[in-house]
Amino acid sequence: MRVARLYGVGDLRLSDEPPPVATPGHTLVTVTAVGICGSDLHWYAEGGIGDARLAEAPGLVPGHEMAGVTADGTLVALDPAAPCHHCDMCRAGHHNLCPNISFAGHGTTDGGLCERVAWPDNQLVPLPDGLSAADGAMLEPLGVAVHAMDLAHPRPGMTVAVAGCGPIGLLLVQLARACGAHYVLAADPLEHRRAAAARYGADEVHAAVTDGRPPGLGVDIAFEVAGTDDAVEAALTVARPGARVMLVGIPETNRTSFPAALARRKGLTLSLVRRMGDVYPRAAALVSRGTIDVASLVSDRYPLDRADEAFRQAAARTGLKTIVEPSNPA
């Protein structure tokens, strides 16, 4: 079985490894689409993410935005997170906050950049008719966006700012519209991302959200989706007093800073977004009904033997979402 394994910064190698065996409670899945996420790029470019670091041996198979086909021909999305189901957080329904969670393509848990995986049955999500494998892979970033919107407590007529228009930011622009926002301000330094935000329904698009002119005293909800201190400060700046600021982006280092006086004097509520709750079925329904467009976010596709090229292209951020296709079951 062909596998793309990361051994160090920028050291992604294709090799042959023994195929997985499906133990009881697991299903063998032929992996047909894997999205490259910003967190994957942290592993590739920095050798880790936050306080988790890459071990040279045995390395790590990246990739957690996954879809594939089971032996009976069912197209499925693969939920990359395996909670323990026994801790207080799991029993309270907060599986994403499980302290014992294992996550595909993170730490010592291999991800989807390989031809086949054996995956827990309860983490397979059959896709509705009409959805492609790439659509299935996109349900993971959409799920993160849905969870962030849930935590923001949206309401019809709200005003929203999105600082950072990578794939999750662009999905948040769409979700804001779907939730009834009457004004959406979006920002990104890259022109092609600004153009995409305008296509997806943003009222104002700028290089920085602080260049916008939201109505009233600022926006009701500000999403920071860039992972930089500048983006955090900008989100705080455009938020109205009493607003919610959602920190979705992952910083390059293990520390985030912002002006305390700005947040305190406005009485802002800051929420940090940890992946998602149990939202895969909702995400699939949003795509199946045409409420959210994920297909047009996919700008580049690569076979597994060009995985390193795919990572370098994704790191250059010249497109929107890069998909690697490890297998072609046809």
Q: For residue range 53-83, what is the model confidence (pLDDT) as tens digits?
A: 887 778 999 999 999 999 999 999 999 998 9
Query: Is the same domain home to 194 and 260?
Result: yes
Q: Produce one character per residue of 256-293: b if its CB has 16 or more CB atoms within 10 Å, e if not.
A: bebeeeebeebebbbbebbbbbebbebbbebbeeeebb
How far is it, in rounded angstroms, from Cα 40 to Cα 313? 13
Query: Is the same domain home to 266 and 185?
Result: yes
Residue 100 included in any domain:
yes
The fraction of the chain above a pLDDT of 70, given in percent, is: 99
Name residue 323's beta-bridge partners. 35, 301
Residue 277 included in any domain:
no
Q: Is 7 helix (H, G, I), strand (E, B) or coil?
A: strand
Cβ–Cβ < 8 Å for 304, 5: no
pLDDT recorded at residue 121: 95
> Would you say residue 289 has pLDDT above 70?
yes
Residue 138 included in any domain:
no
> Would you say residue 330 has pLDDT above 60?
no
Residue 169 included in any domain:
yes
How far is it, in rounded angstroms, from Cα 202 to Cα 210? 15
Residue 285 included in any domain:
no
Residue 136 included in any domain:
no
Pairing of strands 65-70, 75-78: antiparallel
Query: Is the same domain home to 227 and 151?
Result: yes
Query: Is the same domain home to 166 and 267?
Result: yes
pLDDT recorded at residue 91: 93
- pLDDT band at 108, cuts 50/70/90? confident
CATH number, domain of 30, equals 3.90.180.10
Segments forming the whole domain that contains residue 26: 2-126+294-325
- pLDDT band at 252, cuts 50/70/90? confident
Identity of residue 156: P
CA distances 5 to 223, 241, 281, 324, Å, are 33, 47, 30, 14
Residue 240 included in any domain:
yes
Residue 330 included in any domain:
no
pLDDT recorded at residue 61: 96
Query: Is the same domain home to 148 and 120?
Result: no
Query: Is the same domain home to 224 and 265?
Result: yes
* 204 or 49, greater pLDDT: 204
Say how many domains are in the chain. 2
Identity of residue 108: T
Of the CA atoms within 13 Å of residue 151, those in its CB half-sphere come to 25
How far is it, in rounded angstroms, from Cα 216 to Cα 246? 20
Query: Is the same domain home to 118 and 176?
Result: no
CA distances 100 to 81, 147, 211, Å, are 10, 20, 42
Q: What share of the chain is helix, strand, coil (3-state, %, to 5)?
A: 30, 30, 40
CATH number, domain of 202, equals 3.40.50.720
How far is it, in rounded angstroms, from Cα 299 to Cα 305? 18
How far is it, in rounded angstroms, from Cα 167 to Cα 321? 6
How far is it, in rounded angstroms, from Cα 312 to Cα 322? 10
pLDDT recorded at residue 164: 97
Query: Is the same domain home to 155 and 250?
Result: yes
- Which residues have C-beta within 8 Å of that of residue 63, sequence separation ≥ 6? 34, 35, 36, 40, 104, 105, 111, 112, 113, 324
Query: Is the same domain home to 302 and 244?
Result: no
Mean pLDDT in the chain?
Answer: 95
Question: Which DSSP state fits 12?
Answer: E
Query: Is the same domain home to 259 and 317?
Result: no
> Would you say residue 24 has pLDDT above 90?
yes
Burial of 156 (0-12, 13-18, 19+ CB in 10 A): exposed
Cβ–Cβ < 8 Å for 229, 250: no
- When pLDDT is averaged across residues 309-328 and rounded to a whole number, the result is 94
pLDDT recorded at residue 107: 86
Name residue 246's beta-bridge partners. 223, 271
DSSP string for residues in 307-325:
HHHHHHHHHHT-SSEEEEE
Query: Is the same domain home to 122 and 151?
Result: no
pLDDT recorded at residue 92: 92
> Would you say residue 196 has pLDDT above 90?
yes
DSSP string for residues in 81-130:
EE--S-SHHHHTT-GGG-TT-EETTBTTB--S-BSEEEEEGGGEEEPPTT
Query: Is the same domain home to 170 and 262?
Result: yes
- pLDDT band at 253, cuts 50/70/90? confident
How far is it, in rounded angstroms, from Cα 196 to Cα 8? 33
